Amino acid sequence: QIVKAQGPSGPNRDYLFQLEQSLHEFGMYFALC
């Protein structure tokens, strides 16, 4: 459901992937399961 949803800033899946990438850059790992 989250993957298909969309908010004012765009598709939620894009937000989640960008969040994961940002956390990797800061040395944190966030697994999206």
- The answer to whether residue 21 sits within a structural domain is yes
- pLDDT value at position 14? 83
pLDDT digit string, tens, across residues 1-33: 666 787 777 788 888 888 888 888 777 655 554
Tell me how many degrees the CA angle 7-21-18 measures, rounded to the nearest 5.
15
- pLDDT value at position 33? 46
Domain count, the chain: 1
- The answer to whether residue 9 sits within a structural domain is yes
- pLDDT value at position 12? 81
- The answer to whether residue 12 sits within a structural domain is yes
Domain extent at residue 21: 1-26
- pLDDT value at position 31? 53
- The answer to whether residue 8 sits within a structural domain is yes
pTM for this model (two decimals): 0.51
